Amino acid sequence: MNQAPFGFPAGGRLTATRLDPWSPSRTLRAHATGACQRCGNPIEWYDRADGGRIPLLPGEFPAARVPGRYRWTVEGGSARHGSHGRIDKFCRIPHPAVCPGVQHTGLDPVLEPLLQALAVRTRKMIDAGTFTAPLAEDTDEDVAQEPEPAPQPDAPAPADRHVLAWGGRLRIAPCPIDEVRCIALDDENGERCEDTLFDLAEGSWEQIPVPTPRGRKNTRSRGAMWVWELAPLHYRDALRWMQQRCSVHHDSDAPDAVAPEFVEFNADRHGNFILRHRPYGFERPTPATDPAAAPPAEPVRTVCSGDHCTNTTVVPDVEAGWLCYACARTGQRRAGVHRRWQQPDTAQPRPRPWQQEGQQP
């Protein structure tokens, strides 16, 4: 059977098999082994916890002799950075770190013998005619770690590729974001699922600065770009996008029919797909308003007519010149004082208690 990149079959149905329901990876191990496109040496693809993939060298190596930044561990079918298995005695090494077809900068001297051994293998395969080296190109370790997805047979090259943003990471899709298909194997026909991942309620278009590729100095601004940023979702809902699964196959045991097609965004590699203007056709529909469910109208408020008073009332049908309780009390006190000042001088004052008849001062 012909093998496509990533070690997946180029055509036909996958063999009947099943996956452990407790495994976080949906990749069949029999279809995740292959050869590197740049050097021809064998590699094994593993899913990462963040939804990406990484090619590892077959076999384990003593962790004590491998620098910490090259150590990876496979547990439960997924790979994570560090040596956490088997009491930290053994680890796995990513293939791009020692690939002879990749330009290496700052490679640790401990791994140079391994790089030379793989280079000798590549030269033997080229001399025997079993491997054809690709054309010379400026390829670094990041590019080799996540190659571009293989084009679909009889499908034109996509004119637009949208960028997905989640958790500070940017990953570029193989096509517009609303056309990305699920990669799960459909049990009904044994082919790749036809459903898409897109859900208008789970994201929105946001404008961010164009990031500078790793390893380069940010000497000048690269402008802004539009990305499809996932809304604050539950981790499992966001992981559905990273694993490229539709809502039906997200929690199912269906294996992957093809390799995931999201790759890490790089402004140099994907400069032709940077969106400078917001895409159209992604507006959320305005919900129809139901008069019965509409919120009650704000009650009409009447302002107090007192000088410099801001008190109000929502009691309907108040009289013109309505005064609040504070202004009404102040007005009554002032009216009483005014009446006392208007009394004539002949008015007799009220007798004191000791001036009443029969009492002594």
Answer whether 212's CB lies under 8 Å from 267's CB: yes
| 245 Cβ neighbours under 8 A, 6+ residues apart | 26, 182, 183, 184, 197
Supply the pLDDT for residue 13: 45
Could you state, in order of their start, the residue ranges of all structural domains in the chain?
Answer: 32-143, 148-285, 302-335
Q: Which residue has the tokens 């539709």?
A: 246
Would you place residue 217 in the very low, low, confident or very high pLDDT band (cuts 50, 70, 90)? low
Q: Is the pLDDT of residue 216 over 70?
A: no
**Comparing 130 with 21, which gets the higher pLDDT?**
130
Query: What percent of the chain has pLDDT above 90?
Result: 15
Question: Poorest-confidence range of 145-159, 246-260, 277-291?
Answer: 145-159
Answer whether 67's CB lies under 8 Å from 105's CB: no
**Model pTM?**
0.54
What's the rounded mean pLDDT across residues 156-168? Answer: 84
Supply the pLDDT for residue 165: 92
Rounded CA-CA distance 311/304 in Å is 6
The pLDDT tens digits for 164-209 are 998 888 999 999 999 999 988 888 888 899 999 998 888 899 999 9
Q: Which DSSP state fits 303? A: E
Rounded CA-CA distance 259/21 in Å is 19
Residue 90 dihedral angles phi and psi, to the nearest 5° = -130, 155
The pLDDT tens digits for 335-348 are 877 777 776 655 56
**Comparing 220 with 263, which gets the higher pLDDT?**
263
Question: Poorest-confidence range of 42-56, 96-110, 133-147, 214-228?
Answer: 133-147
What's the rounded mean pLDDT across residues 279-295? Answer: 68
Q: Of the segments 69-78, 156-165, 192-201, 260-269, which one has the largest average pLDDT value? A: 192-201
Q: What residue type is assigned to position 183 of the chain?
A: I
**Comparing 342 with 14, which gets the higher pLDDT?**
342
Would you place residue 227 in the very low, low, confident or very high pLDDT band (cuts 50, 70, 90)? very high
Q: Of the segments 2-16, 188-202, 283-297, 337-351, which one has the largest average pLDDT value? A: 188-202
Question: Please, what is the end-to-end C-alpha distance for the chain in angstroms?
Answer: 128
**Comparing 359 with 160, which gets the higher pLDDT?**
160
Supply the pLDDT for residue 153: 59
Q: Is the pLDDT of residue 285 over 80?
A: no
Mean of all residue pLDDT scores within the chain: 78
Biggest distance spanned by C-alpha atoms of the chain? 142
The pLDDT tens digits for 18-61 are 566 666 677 777 667 888 888 889 998 888 876 678 899 998 88
Supply the pLDDT for residue 10: 41
What's the rounded mean pLDDT across residues 147-176? Answer: 80
Question: Poorest-confidence range of 221-230, 319-328, 350-359?
Answer: 350-359
Question: Poorest-confidence range of 26-35, 68-77, 219-228, 245-254?
Answer: 26-35
Answer whether 212's CB lies under 8 Å from 222's CB: yes
Comparing C-alpha atoms, which of 11, 10, 264 is closest to residue 148?
A: 264
Tokens of residue 106, six digits = 């700052």
**Comparing 49 with 282, which gets the higher pLDDT?**
282
Query: What percent of the chain has pLDDT above 70?
Result: 73
What's the rounded mean pLDDT across residues 280-297? Answer: 67
What's the rounded mean pLDDT across residues 66-73? Answer: 89
Q: Is the pLDDT of residue 305 over 80?
A: yes
Would you place residue 356 in the very low, low, confident or very high pLDDT band (cuts 50, 70, 90)? low
